[in-house]
Chain A
Amino acid sequence: MALQAIAFYVMATVTVFAALAVVLAKNPVHSVLFLITAFFSAAGLFVLLGAEFLAMLLVVVYVGAVAVLFLFVVMMLDVDFVALRQGFARYLPIGGVIAGILTIEMIVVATMVATKGAASRVSGPQASLPDVTNAETIGRVLYTDYVYFFQAAGLVLLVAMIGAIVLTLRHKPGVRRQNVSAQTARNPKSGMRMVDIQPGAGEGE
């Protein structure tokens, strides 16, 4: 138990400080690296909760794909981060007010959870059977009870793909593409042109 508590506090502290550093770091590449740190320690918290599958997803999807994508974007797009920060002082008061309201709300909700206990009134989702891992539990419902949501989410991704293609794909005119069948079908007749050159006149081209 003590070991778990130590692990929890270490990882929770790292998560909070890494998240702060994401916002406060001067260098955007450092921000992304801190983001990865935050994801990793959040994954550790999931493991402590007994949700190994979510922890793995967090590492694979967020660290493996999303954060690396961020890194590419930060490195490849020449965004002037100094200019982006210039409104900082101007937007600080309104941003502070909104952040304050959100903090109060979070505290209210958290105390409600702590005092009454979320989902204490109804028979909510039950803890999974002891001999079944949570990856297996998710696997059992994903293609059965939740197949509709799963397929519908697939359609959402399809729309995103169509959208990306519609908005960015450009067919440039005059691009010379390799056409293998035309190349192999070429014979002396189509590949050569016989020109009868008059002495002293030269060929046009």
Chain B
Amino acid sequence: MTLSDLNVAAPELILAGSALLLLMWGAFQGRSNFAYGAAAVLALVAAACAAALGVQGRIFSGGLIADDLSAFAKVFIYGFSAVSIPLGERWLQRRGDNKFEFNVLIILAALGMGMMVSAGDLIALYIGIELQSLALYVLAAFRRDDAKASEAGLKYFVLGALSSGLLLYGASLIYGFAGSTQFPVIAEAVSQGAGGGVLFGLVFLICGIAFKVSAAPFHMWTPDVYEGAPTPVVGFFAAAPKLAAMVLLARVLSEGFGSALEQWRQVIVAMALLSIFVGAFGGLVQRNLKRLWAYSSIANIGYALLGLAAGAEVGVQSMLLFMVLYMVDVTGFFACLSALQRDGKPMETIDDMAGLIKERPALALALTAFALSALGLPPFAGFWAKYYVFKAAIGGGLTVAAVLGLVGSVVAAFYYLRLIKVMWFDPTVGATERPPFEARSVAVAAALFSFPAVLVALVWLDPLAKAAAAVLG
């Protein structure tokens, strides 16, 4: 390879370079301020542009792949990371904890996620996951004087390390039996019937990735971590890293194990259904909204996995669309939560939301939109997301699984409707504080996307996701 091949890695180089520069700048400045945050956002936007418009190709013998799929995923990953910087930075500033490292860690996490979606090699896969997760562990415990945040960070770290161990064990088995860490070579070995050892490794690899996307039965860290971590950080956790891990899973399964579709499909379907039901039933007893949305995210990952299990191009396309629409909703929801305060305390339980429609009509309407969307009511974004997934699942011959998924979403409807009922019809508890500008605008923008804008957006999202999925088809 020549030096000009590095053009393919332009987004990664931009992010790595700007992370180092920002680190230097921050060391002299100490606290993050408007200009510092703006520079971090600018770096992410530049990387997103580079990913969308840059050169495509495979470099480092498949370690870094830039194609339509990675470009699609990277634009959204960098975009949502950029949104989380002002949200998180202002939130921390109001609590006097706006250390500059927050911005640097978000950029490095975004870099790791970009490496994940571009990985065509088991080593790149592992390093990408690790770069992303390590940054997220630190972000979860970022408010170190808060006991709950520290607990969240520690739990996330210990369980994440365990999952990395599973993943590495699987990767080493695959390497041992297939003879290479590169996906195309593994695919060749699998199609020649590499046998049980590779599949053993694959199951461990899937388990390790399932931990990262919090799919059941590897979901147990999610509610605790979401409850304890700073609210805007949770909004970040629940969105971009999941898309990255799902795209990574799709790429491993189709590029590396395409001919073993029947073997891994049953694992993915089982995890999908388990996630949908754990999410639906686990959420019923939650009073804390962050925990509730943790279960909601578990259920949503179940639907995304169902789309993936449908296989082929349609399945991957439905998974990509589902994840993008879900990410908008979940970012908006956590922006609402981070905006709402009463008497200096964050409003985090369902009871806190009583009568919110009279207090803060805009935010209450936004929350209503997110709840209805998560419920899957037409014409909200969540409906279209589920529509694509179920269409792909039925087309892929998973009719029974699709019906069970629908049942799960009916069960989950209960807690979304309860939140709406409490907000609209219960008497108000007291005055809330004025919501900060940036969180309110993100929430309202996401809510507007969730209802009218999604109809227009799907017109161009649909072919883009199709082109991205065609890479694996």
Contact = CB atoms under 8 A, between A and B. Distances in A.
A162 interface: yes
Contacts of B57: none
A125 B197 CA distance: 18
Contacts of B144: 166-168
Given A105-B200, A148-B64, A163-B137, A156 B179 contact: no
Contacts of A25: none
A85 interface: no
A168 B101 CA distance: 13
B193 to A, nearest CB: 8
B185 A163 contact: no
A160 interface: yes
B443 to A, nearest CB: 28
A60 B130 CA distance: 24
Given A125-B180, A149-B124, A163 B195 contact: no
A6 interface: no
Given A116-B195, A122-B180, A156-B127, A162 B23 contact: yes
B130 A112 contact: no
Nearest to A144: B1
B177 interface: yes
Contacts of B192: 121-122
B176 A156 contact: no
Given A159-B105, A166-B142, A149 B63 contact: yes
Contact of B178 (A109, A122, A147): A122
B194 interface: yes
A149 B188 CA distance: 23
A165 B197 contact: no
Contact of B60 (A113, A121, A147): A147
A124 B196 contact: no
Interface in B96-145: 99, 101, 104-105, 108, 111-112, 115, 123-124, 127-128, 130-131, 134-135, 137-138, 141-142, 144
A119 B124 contact: no
Contact of A109 (B19, B111, B137, B197): B197
A148 B195 contact: no
Contact of B195 (A105, A112, A145): A112
B200 A109 contact: yes
Contacts of A47: none
B16 interface: yes
B179 A167 contact: no
Contact of B197 (A112, A122, A123): A112
B4 interface: no
B179 A159 contact: no
Interface in A98-146: 105, 108-109, 112-113, 116, 118-119, 121-125, 145-146
A113 B176 contact: yes
B207 interface: no
A152 B112 CA distance: 9
Contacts, number: 104
Contacts of B2: none
A61 interface: no
A121 B179 contact: yes
B179 A155 contact: no
A109 B197 CA distance: 6
Given A155-B16, A159-B105, A159-B134, A121 B194 contact: yes
A57 interface: no
A163 B59 CA distance: 30
Contacts of A151: 16
Contact of A152 (B101, B115, B173, B193): B115
Interface string B440-471: 00000000000000000000000000000000
A110 to B, nearest CB: 10
B138 A152 contact: no
Contacts of B176: 113, 118-119
13 contacts: A108-B196, A113-B197, A119-B177, A122-B185, A124-B178, A146-B60, A146-B123, A148-B60, A149-B63, A155-B16, A155-B131, A159-B138, A168-B144
Interface of A: 105, 108-109, 112-113, 116, 118-119, 121-125, 145-149, 151-153, 155-156, 158-160, 162-163, 165-168
Given A121-B192, A155-B131, 13 more contacts: A108-B196, A109-B200, A121-B179, A122-B180, A124-B180, A145-B60, A148-B63, A149-B124, A152-B115, A152-B127, A155-B112, A156-B127, A159-B131
Q: Which 10 A-B pairs have the closest CB atoms?
A: A124-B179, A119-B179, A163-B138, A148-B60, A118-B176, A122-B179, A152-B127, A159-B134, A166-B101, A122-B189
